[in-house]
Structure 1
Amino acid sequence: MLDTFENIETVRLKLGEFDSLGDTSALYEDVEIKVFGGIPNEEVLVGIHRYTKRRKEIIFGVVLDVIVSSEHRIQPPCPYFGPCSGCQWQHIDYSYQLIIKNKEVTNQFRAYAELSEINVQPTLPSPDTFNYRNHARFTVRKEGKLGFVNRITRRFVAIDDCRLMTAGINKILALLQGKVGETSQLTVRHGINTHEWLIQPIIKNPQVEIMTGQTHYRESLNNRLFRVASPSFFQVNTLQAEKLGKIVKEKCNLSSSSKVVDAYAGVGTFTAIVSEEALQVIAIEESGAAIKDAKINLTGLNNVEFIESKTEQGILNLSFNPDAVILDPPRYGCHIEVLKSILIKLPKRVVYVSCDPNTLARDLSFLVKGGYAIIDVQPIDMFPQTHHIECVVTLEPNK
């Protein structure tokens, strides 16, 4: 980290709690600032970085040296930790990362009176804490160098090996490094079970000896093959995604007569696993590319019906009230009209899968005020070494 923050002002600070982005807080010049690379209650030497955002000066700190260390501090294994900034928590032992993530979900719930007493289960750990990520988005700079941009300094850092990415992605990175100057961004997706890959965009440099420009790749989850097109969403942690699918199926409380709605179906990962035990599954998806993938992926499942529409329209147009609805929205959560459609159809179970505790708490508050009770809250770590956390929440109508 030192080489990124040369010749800047430094100050000794005592660190406060984590914020929702994984940084600690500290008081400096009578202002609370964010500090990267710390742990609460540590005393550290901080490099001060100042920048302007929307005509307002922002002060941000980065830990340069630790004076009084937390018992949870470890040596980050990645040489790019800090200058890269893609990981927030490599300096924290993994067992404590899981505790922090549980606290973050709990803290977001406490902002709402109706959620403040909800018990949050311990965070389920990831099978792999490094080399788990199957999707990389690289920035390309001079001489075709691949890397990432520091979120604080905006400086580009060339990367030869990323500890979060799968071995397959790091192999592709090595093959492409310094050879992709014809583009400014490069996406790589890799199937750990199929060894297939997708690289976008097409690279025409004759020095590149690997195929690029694929429109899709395939990956296997729970023994089913899934085709994933370039614009389609797919969980970045394959092994943990298999566990997530099993949890969602369990929480749906299925029987052979169950009618289920997968309300943000994507390429069909949840639809596939719940179809094994349900009578009927309705897969609703707004993205045409994802629906196309899902229809291929779920070929032969005669109890699955696809609806390409906005989620709220698909739910409201159902001719029946579903036994269970799976909600797996993007990070910004459910549109208010989706939540209203749930309160109209009143499914016996709602299983809400979220990657943002803040928007999750907001949406749960609406559902609870509308007559639902929260049965279970299960955090699951899809993103080790980062502040991100997945959560599966089960709800039932109040009796």
Structure 2
Amino acid sequence: MVRLHIEKLVAGGLGLARTPSGTALVQGGLPGETVEAELWQRKNHLEGRVIRVLEAHPARYLEALPPSADLPLEYPYQLPIKQLLVQESLERIGKLQFELAPVQPSPSYTAQPGLYYRTAAQYALHPLGGLAYRRPRSNELVPIPHDPLIAEPLQPAFELLSGWPLANLEEVVLRGSIYEQKVQIGFIGGHARHFQKTAQALVQEGIAGVVWGASSPKGRFRGPLQHLAGTPHLLEDFGGVLSSVNVQSFAQVNPRAAGLLFQEAAQVVEPGRKAVELYAGSGVLSLHLAHRFTEVVAIEINPSAVKRGEADRDRLGVQNLVFVRDDARVLGRHLPADLVMVDPPRAGLAPEVLAGLLEKKPRQILYIACDPATWARDIGRLVQGGYRLRFARPYDFYPFTHHVEVLSLLSL
């Protein structure tokens, strides 16, 4: 056991401390805290986890939180940490000096800032009954009698499932809509035929819809899928755009925060003739920007996301938006363009996409990121290739966690 002083948080939400044997990165510590930690050697540094907090941060949040909440601070104290994470990533990884716009806090959904914001969550079934989270980086199950991070429409469903006799399942997934005040449930594992009656009973109890997905090594809802009961879709308000969501597909889990980002994105770009969106999902960003361009092309590889996006487009009467089901690497076929919008996964831009941007040189690039480190890497390469970073703002989509989104704009 080693006594450490946590200097700051770094990428991944790890606390950085100095030891005579080198830098240590530990889980569970907050800036300014003195802790006891268990450490082990990595190639170039030490890693570990906090066993006991000896001197706590004065604003440490003391109420119960899920184990995924790795930033347990009173909400106002979380924001400067996230601002610094993005700033340091840009300077250390991107090698750029640039003044970020102030972090945009998550809108409050109740009187308690930072809580009750998530419209999606997944839980394991605890062997002794009830719902549980898997502790990060382990298979340990932590029973959760209450989850203060999920939005109010999900709370009754959580309570219902916590006492419902569920067997032969690996996970249950919730997806809610604040706009409609409804929730869907997804069952993962077992066989669909075993859950038909359960699904119908849950719909009678007020659940909007139930979907079953096979357990798959590729990930949640990547294998066979079957709609069991109720409605297949919900509508959610993302900054004035009503978009369809469902339990088996990706959509931002903090809709009001995402709506603010989409609205600002539409304001910071210069209008033009053609815009192209990569990694488009169901095209919510394209729907926000469609009125500023003559033509918008949204490229997305997932067929169900494209189908939902086309249905939303038609329902909203947006006539200048075209969806293309394809990989983001086909960008070159759709250039030239006045604007390319990218919202890649945590790994950042694929090398082919980055090369295409630097070769074809669209006038503007709107880059939305969920990982400051890979964002900073890509921004640095784009700047080396002739672009200028014009605007960047961190957005807090995930209070009580280290995760932070970034909205940025580059131009020639």
> What does residue 6 of structure 1 align with?
none
1:64 aligns with 2:64: no
Q: How has the CA–CA distance of structure 1 residues 298 and 153 changed in structure 2, closer, same or farther, with 3 Å as cutoff?
A: closer
Conserved 8 A contact 2:239-2:256: no
User: What displacement does 1:158 show?
Assistant: 1.2
> CA-to-partner distance for each residue in 1:151-194, whole Å, 9 max, x for gaps?
25642111121111111222111001142222111111000111
> CA-to-partner distance for each residue in 1:305-329, whole Å, 9 max, x for gaps?
111111121x2112x5211111111
> What does residue 156 of structure 2 align with?
171
* Counterpart Cα distance in 2 of 1:270 and 1:290: 13
* 3-state SS in 2 of match to 1:387: coil
What is the identity, as a one-letter code, of the residue corresponding to 1:323?
D
Q: How has the CA–CA distance of structure 1 residues 175 and 376 changed in structure 2, closer, same or farther, with 3 Å as cutoff?
A: same
Question: Given the two structures, how large is their TM-score scaled by the length of structure 1?
Answer: 0.85
1:212 aligns with 2:192: no
> CA-to-partner distance for each residue in 1:357-399, whole Å, 9 max, x for gaps?
11111111221121111111111111111000000111011xx
1:127 aligns with 2:112: no
> What does residue 194 of structure 1 align with?
180
* Counterpart Cα distance in 2 of 1:59 and 1:280: 50
User: What displacement does 1:53 show?
Assistant: 10
* Counterpart Cα distance in 2 of 1:157 and 1:110: 38
Question: Given the two structures, how large is their TM-score scaled by the length of structure 2?
Answer: 0.83
> CA-to-partner distance for each residue in 1:338-365, whole Å, 9 max, x for gaps?
1122123322111100000111111112
Give the one of 33, 38, 41 matched to 1:42. 33
> What does residue 157 of structure 1 align with?
142
> What does residue 10 of structure 2 align with?
19
* Counterpart Cα distance in 2 of 1:339 and 1:47: 41
* 3-state SS in 2 of match to 1:353: strand
What is the identity, as a one-letter code, of the residue corresponding to 1:316?
G
Give the one of 127, 135, 146 matched to 1:142. 127
* 3-state SS in 2 of match to 1:119: coil
Give the one of 346, 356, 371 matched to 1:356. 371
1:392 aligns with 2:380: no
* 3-state SS in 2 of match to 1:142: coil
Q: How does 1:377-388 map to 2 (within 5 A)?
A: 377-388=392-403
User: What displacement does 1:247 show?
Assistant: 1.2
1:108 aligns with 2:89: yes
User: What displacement does 1:143 show?
Assistant: 4.4
* Counterpart Cα distance in 1 of 2:354 and 2:174: 35
What is the identity, as a one-letter code, of the residue corresponding to 1:160?
P
Q: How has the CA–CA distance of structure 1 residues 28 and 204 changed in structure 2, closer, same or farther, with 3 Å as cutoff?
A: farther
Give the one of 141, 162, 168 matched to 1:182. 168
> What does residue 218 of structure 2 align with?
none
What is the identity, as a one-letter code, of the residue corresponding to 2:38?
I
* 3-state SS in 2 of match to 1:341: helix
Give the one of 71, 85, 97 matched to 2:67. 85
What is the identity, as a one-letter code, of the residue corresponding to 2:244?
R
* 3-state SS in 2 of match to 1:138: strand
> CA-to-partner distance for each residue in 1:35-70, whole Å, 9 max, x for gaps?
3443223223x25387x999xxx8623253433x44
* Counterpart Cα distance in 2 of 1:266 and 1:242: 15
Q: How has the CA–CA distance of structure 1 residues 155 and 312 changed in structure 2, closer, same or farther, with 3 Å as cutoff?
A: closer
* Counterpart Cα distance in 1 of 2:52 and 2:260: 38
Q: 176-185 or 187-196: which moved more?
A: 176-185
* Counterpart Cα distance in 1 of 2:384 and 2:307: 37
* Counterpart Cα distance in 1 of 2:128 and 2:408: 47
* Counterpart Cα distance in 2 of 1:13 and 1:222: 44
Q: How has the CA–CA distance of structure 1 residues 231 and 174 changed in structure 2, closer, same or farther, with 3 Å as cutoff?
A: closer
User: What displacement does 1:32 show?
Assistant: 4.2
| Residue-pair matches, total | 372
* Counterpart Cα distance in 2 of 1:374 and 1:25: 29
What is the identity, as a one-letter code, of the residue corresponding to 1:235?
Q
> CA-to-partner distance for each residue in 1:254-308, whole Å, 9 max, x for gaps?
2xx5321122211111111111232111111111111011000110211111111
| Gapped regions of structure 2 (runs ≥ 5) | 109-113, 212-226
* 3-state SS in 1 of match to 2:8: coil
> What does residue 375 of structure 1 align with?
390
Q: 244-253 or 20-29: which moved more?
A: 20-29
Conserved 8 A contact 1:102-1:121: no
* Counterpart Cα distance in 2 of 1:177 and 1:204: 19
* Counterpart Cα distance in 1 of 2:42 and 2:247: 33
User: What displacement does 1:144 show?
Assistant: 4.4
Conserved 8 A contact 1:142-1:181: no
